[in-house]
Structure 1
Amino acid sequence: MTYSLSTGICQRLHNATPNEDELFNGSHTLQVLSLKKVGKQTENTNLPTDRYRIVLSDGVHFLQAMLATQLNEMIVEKHLTRYSIVCVERLSCNYVQEKRLIIIMALRIIGQEDKKFGEPVSIDASLSEAPTPAPERPLQQSTFQPVIPTAQPVSRSLPKSNWHPIEGLSPYQNNWTIKARVTQKSELKHYSNARGEGKLFNVTFMDETGEIRATAFNQIAEALYPRLEEGKVYYVSKGKVNLAKKKFSNVMNDFEISLEKQAEVEECLETTNLPMIKYSFVSLAELQELTKDSTCDIIAILKEYSDVSEITSRATNRTMKKRELTLVDKSGFSVRLTLWGNQAENFKPDEQSPVIAFKGVKVGDFGGRSLGMIASSTMTQNPDIPESHALRGWYDSSGSGSTFQSHNASGGSFSGAGGSGFNRSEIKPLLEMKLEANRIPESEEKPVYFSTRAMVMHVRGENIAYPACETCNKKIVEDGGSWRCDKCDKTLSGPTYRYIMSFAVSDHTGQLWFQGFNDVGDAVFGKTANEVIEIKERDDAQYNLLLAKACCQSYNFLLRAKRDSYNDNSRIRYGVSRILPLNYKEECDALLNLMDTPWGQQGLKTESNNMVY
């Protein structure tokens, strides 16, 4: 394949100033000549996350840059290699000792070559120390710790473009200035220990390359607290960089800043090139995949909120104020999020049902899944980001009339259409489940719920889906070339097919027939009912192959067992309320946990009792 490199772009980057947004946010096609790890010196050294130096060529010149750490996975997974052709989509330019430091923030791999294009040369003598490596040399970790040049001290006569990236801070630097946004500021807290009493507060600073936590104590805390405001951008210098105390922070940085007496903080009044808060959103439905006490970013609609209430902490016996928010999103789920202290008292929606973005909220397991604000969490109403606009459009057009599910308390799974959710600790084999279901009295109208694990053995393909109304999901009938929904009393141009499945499953104890609807078919086939019906009507052989591929797959099922009558015969019908593909990590963790129970230890006790000493 022929690629056209962006000739001349290395020269432009070498001469660029930090305000050239069009250049740094444009798309440039370049070739990777070299990748070199410049991270930890030894396994026992407490240094930051591995960094990669990258040499890029436009076919005429080459220059050095650093790869942002969020792109490391592309190298680890061997997607980004030597001679890769890439489209660099976003860069950051910073100054270190009056030299440009280019950081690649986003790139896309276009293709792979086995040799370099042209005979590129170094952009200037300062880069001649990084020649194109010999073809035989593989990518390997550097055996020495590189010395990263330190930033010049901030001077009122120097332009404010001479700032240092947060991602490049380390304890080995003394003179640096960062330009960063305050994304979180804690309350001014009082503490008491063996050395006396004092005050402290912490803030989280963020720029394009990362974030870092900073803490101020006593007099400097009193001086800086009123000057630092969430959302504003500041120049910060002369702080001390130390190893981060991870138990006090969830900020993704191996270092933190101590703001001592010599620290300088000045508000940035520029209106261009300002760092923005970066999010990594998960949907409310995905909370089931997150572990308790982990943190995440979410964006959701505020459905409702409670008044402020007070509770007494059992750990400290102190009274705390709290307020609970109910949040919903496009995934069809809702979750409760708790605000504490001043945030709870001062919370006020900007409008009815605002969009709220949360960064770094803590995942709890109360009621299945819940969320809570912690000291380092941030909350922004109606942020000016694409995700916010998309969520607002969805809610205003259709979401406000939707119904939402909540996470239940059964192992982080979801509730079905009534009853409890799938519970791994209560899994029953098919035979045991069948025996219990057969004991359901004929007069009993309420269903009984079971959790089980089984393999799909056969899917009936005759009537696998029905033509449905896209509004009410009821069956519609064809009427003279069009389709009619009697419930909605309207004529439709065509149906939306929905699954109505009957399939046999088995485990080591026996076999049963289950019935399932649309979500079950989506999970079993990985296709919509419309797609499956189109295959069925077009090609019988391909349809039969699709049915065969759906077999021999295991799932966790939440079942709704209920007695009904068919042709005057009483029988038990097993309807699938929830189908979950196996998560093998969770299954292995469950087996390991089982080994720690008395049941899992009984063999060890027997062996111990039989040992001869």
Structure 2
Amino acid sequence: MAGLPQLTRGICARLANSENEDSEELFNSQPTLQLLSFKKVPPTGGGNNVDRYRVIVSDGEHFLQSMLATQLNHLVEEDAIGKGAVAVIEKFTCNIVQGKRLLIILALRVLVKTTEKMGSPGPVQGRPEGGASTPAAETPGPSTSTNITPAPPAAAAAQAPRQQTQANRNGRAAAIYPIESLSPYQNHWTIKARAMNKSDIRTWVNQRGEGKLFSVTLMDDSGEIRATAFNAAVDLFYDKIQEGKVYLISKAKVNLAKKKFSNVNNEYELTFERNTEVEECLDVTDVPTVKFNFVPISGLQDVAKDATCDIIGVVKEVGELSTITSKATSKVIPKRELTVVDRSNYAVRVTLWGKQAEQFEATDQPVIAFKGVKVGDFQGRSLSMMSSSSMHMNPDIPEAHALRGWFDAAGSDQTFQAHTSTFTGGGGITFDRAEVRNLNEVKTAEFGMSDKPEYFCAQATIMHIKNDTISYPACPSQGCNKKVVELGDSWRCEKCDKSYPKPQHRYMVSMAVSDYSGQAWFSGFNDVGETIFGMPADELVDIRERDDSQFNQVVERAIGTTYNFACRAKQDSYNEATRVRYAINRIMPLNYREETKYLANILTHSDWAR
């Protein structure tokens, strides 16, 4: 075929018959091959949630089964390559799966997006010198996909050969495997990876005994994998492995990843054992630094609650160190909140925990890149560091330099918007002006009458506030909030088992709200009261004790104000009577700009406008 690139004839036979002991010349040859067909291999569970693509490649004489590395999936999904494409295979490895050679394509350069089949390729018949034969398969045609039963994905990365070599401690050349190719079905491998996100040492005690562990994320140019060390291995490797450094690692155990403990995008994970070898590598030229996929702070509203993401911003405010008490373990955990802003003119609260919160020091409002932080919805979108998250202060990347210049030139004098117009309420309901329900609809639809709570959004005006039980005396300890009892000159908290000279009052508001369709009673706690009264509960209680008329004026000022609400409807029983209570999860003042846009959109698309 005139005008088409020449395929590298004979390469499929050489790859099918190659031995692991061959020189690396073959694996650095960058052959030109034709991709005859693609077949998606769906996830198989066990923590693997990524599709894979099986490909038949041809050199015009023979064809081989191959697999695209997951980082190349987008080429198929975005239609950058099609059936019959011709490409230079810039980086690859070969695996042995069920006695057959499987080519793993790690990088390629497309020469022709799609064309007819070139030559008359057939299967490679066998291997010389008694090697395992490759069973014949049906020759793929130009217009039909090849019908080849895929090997189990768990075994699809067994026995990977070298991509490069590195002298090991015995002076011999060690085969360097890409992280992408690791699987439980291979024993002899060495990876060259950068250590990232090393956790603190954590301990546990249960009925089976006690122990300790730490984890670290390892990364090379093919992907990343989480590694965990337990007990004796912690003593061996914790001090040896330092974040940011590159290591040659071998003889670790490969297992299926436990996704509830990790957000690393790999179906496998490593376990360091006593015989695991970890050796620092000074040649770091081919190992990448941290890879980020930044989301602008304004875009956090489009990220699902409890998902993880990467952001970069300038630290505008640093909160004081505080503590909370874990409900599960009763341990006191240090925390610190940062306010981070970016060029989208939004701000977000980022919470640091433990030693990171205690040791955080920042001057001159640094630029920080956060990787793998968890998205929350407390009082609008918020972010929280996890054990697998990492924080990089003033990183040497283009995004950081651009942010520094913007903030120093103009950003430091700007005002920033928090995520309050869109938020996730309890039950995963996202506030959307178009989804607001009127109060009559909430009642007639019998929200809250089922066994489980139900959630809805409403826009209503405060008509009346009960002012006789507007607050309660609470424990002043951080994170407690339990009601305290007055005993003589002190206030007693049974939960904390402590007495305090005075309580900290917290709001407990019950109010009648109304819209055009009807009225309902809503109840809310401290954040609701602070929003509608504009002051802490202690201050309002002090006003009530000093001046009843001033107290009544404060309450009356809140009457007639309209808010957006996210509520939970749940029935309960009291004195053998069953009723539905509407509890406020979130309250927000109206954003009149958003209201105007919403109403204008209704008018634009209404039948009347047409």
Normalised TM-score (structure 1): 0.59
Q: Match of 1:70, SS? A: helix
The residue aligned with 2:214 is 201
The residue aligned with 2:354 is 341
> Which residue of 353, 373, 390 corresponds with 2:365?
353
The residue aligned with 1:566 is none
Cα 1:116–1:143 shift into 2, 3 Å = closer
> Which residue of 33, 37, 41 corresponds with 2:36?
33
Maintained 8 Å contact 1:96/1:163: no
Q: Match of 2:315, SS? A: strand
TM superposition shift of 1:373: 0.3
Q: Match of 2:592, SS? A: strand
Asked if residue 369 in structure 1 is aligned to residue 381 in structure 2, the reply is yes
Alignment of 1:397-416 (within 5 A): 397-408=409-420, 411-412=423-424
The residue aligned with 2:469 is none
Q: Match of 2:379, SS? A: coil
TM superposition shift of 1:73: 4.8
TM superposition shift of 1:408: 1.6
Aligned equivalents of 2:269 and 2:317: distance in 1? Answer: 37
Aligned equivalents of 1:143 and 1:5: distance in 2? Answer: 29
State the AA in 2 paired with 1:267: E
Cα 1:102–1:151 shift into 2, 3 Å = closer
Asked if residue 266 in structure 1 is aligned to residue 287 in structure 2, the reply is no
TM superposition shift of 1:135: 2.6
Asked if residue 576 in structure 1 is aligned to residue 578 in structure 2, the reply is no
The residue aligned with 2:268 is 255
The residue aligned with 2:310 is 297
**Offset from partner CA, 1:464-502 (integer Å, 9 cap, x none):** xxxxxxxxxxxxxxxxxxxxxxxxxxxxxxxxxxxxxxx
Asked if residue 277 in structure 1 is aligned to residue 290 in structure 2, the reply is yes
Alignment of 1:515-594 (within 5 A): 560=592, 575-576=596-597
The residue aligned with 1:517 is none
Maintained 8 Å contact 1:92/1:208: no
The residue aligned with 2:201 is 188
**Offset from partner CA, 1:91-133 (integer Å, 9 cap, x none):** 5456879x997633476797433x0357789999989969973
Cα 1:273–1:266 shift into 2, 3 Å = same
**Offset from partner CA, 1:63-92 (integer Å, 9 cap, x none):** 87642213335435766431235688xx54
Aligned equivalents of 2:314 and 2:288: distance in 1? Answer: 25
The residue aligned with 2:85 is 84
The residue aligned with 1:216 is 229
The residue aligned with 2:145 is 138
Asked if residue 159 in structure 1 is aligned to residue 191 in structure 2, the reply is no
Maintained 8 Å contact 1:5/1:30: no
Aligned equivalents of 1:221 and 1:273: distance in 2? Answer: 28
Aligned equivalents of 1:391 and 1:116: distance in 2? Answer: 50
Maintained 8 Å contact 2:32/2:88: yes
State the AA in 2 paired with 1:188: I
TM superposition shift of 1:37: 5.1
Q: Match of 2:349, SS? A: strand
Maintained 8 Å contact 1:105/1:209: no
TM superposition shift of 1:18: 12
Maintained 8 Å contact 1:39/1:47: no
Alignment of 1:457-476 (within 5 A): none
Aligned equivalents of 2:417 and 2:267: distance in 1? Answer: 38
Aligned equivalents of 1:450 and 1:51: distance in 2? Answer: 45
> Which residue of 369, 391, 395 corresponds with 1:379?
391
**Offset from partner CA, 1:538-564 (integer Å, 9 cap, x none):** xxxxxxxxxxxxxxxxxxxx7739xxx
TM superposition shift of 1:371: 0.3
Q: Match of 2:211, SS? A: strand
Cα 1:232–1:409 shift into 2, 3 Å = same
TM superposition shift of 1:258: 1.3
Aligned equivalents of 2:398 and 2:176: distance in 1? Answer: 28
TM superposition shift of 1:187: 0.9
Aligned equivalents of 1:232 and 1:244: distance in 2? Answer: 24
Maintained 8 Å contact 1:177/1:236: yes
Aligned equivalents of 2:226 and 2:4: distance in 1? Answer: 43
Aligned equivalents of 1:373 and 1:34: distance in 2? Answer: 43
Aligned equivalents of 1:163 and 1:402: distance in 2? Answer: 50
State the AA in 1 paired with 2:197: Q
**Offset from partner CA, 1:30-84 (integer Å, 9 cap, x none):** 75334355676xx578878443344567889988764221333543576643123
Cα 1:148–1:438 shift into 2, 3 Å = closer
The worse-fitting range, judged by mean Cα deviation, of 334-343 and 215-224 is 215-224
Q: Match of 2:596, SS? A: strand
Aligned equivalents of 1:64 and 1:179: distance in 2? Answer: 27
Q: Match of 1:281, SS? A: coil
TM superposition shift of 1:224: 0.7
**Offset from partner CA, 1:319-365 (integer Å, 9 cap, x none):** 1111111111222211000111111122233x623322211111111
Which segments of 5 or more consecutive residues in structure 1 lack a partner in the other structure?
414-419, 452-557, 562-572, 582-613
Aligned equivalents of 1:447 and 1:575: distance in 2? Answer: 18
Alignment of 1:434-453 (within 5 A): 448=562
Cα 1:119–1:288 shift into 2, 3 Å = same
Maintained 8 Å contact 2:95/2:104: no
Maintained 8 Å contact 1:308/1:345: yes
Aligned equivalents of 2:3 and 2:311: distance in 1? Answer: 39
Maintained 8 Å contact 2:9/2:60: no
TM superposition shift of 1:222: 1.1
Q: Match of 2:597, SS? A: strand
TM superposition shift of 1:372: 0.4
Aligned equivalents of 1:445 and 1:121: distance in 2? Answer: 82
Aligned equivalents of 1:6 and 1:352: distance in 2? Answer: 59
Q: Match of 1:33, SS? A: strand
Q: Match of 2:415, SS? A: coil
The residue aligned with 1:104 is 106
> Which residue of 282, 305, 317 corresponds with 2:330?
317
Aligned equivalents of 1:579 and 1:404: distance in 2? Answer: 25
Aligned equivalents of 1:171 and 1:297: distance in 2? Answer: 30
Identity of aligned residues (%): 43
The residue aligned with 1:502 is none
Aligned equivalents of 1:30 and 1:398: distance in 2? Answer: 53
Cα 1:577–1:445 shift into 2, 3 Å = farther
The residue aligned with 1:150 is 159
The CA RMSD measured in Å over matched residues stands at 5.0
Aligned equivalents of 1:579 and 1:307: distance in 2? Answer: 44
Cα 1:336–1:192 shift into 2, 3 Å = same
The number of aligned residues is 443
Maintained 8 Å contact 1:449/1:559: no
**Offset from partner CA, 1:413-438 (integer Å, 9 cap, x none):** 9xxxxxx9855664459999999689
The residue aligned with 2:544 is none
The worse-fitting range, judged by mean Cα deviation, of 144-153 and 202-211 is 144-153
Q: Match of 1:408, SS? A: coil
Cα 1:19–1:361 shift into 2, 3 Å = farther
Aligned equivalents of 2:48 and 2:424: distance in 1? Answer: 36
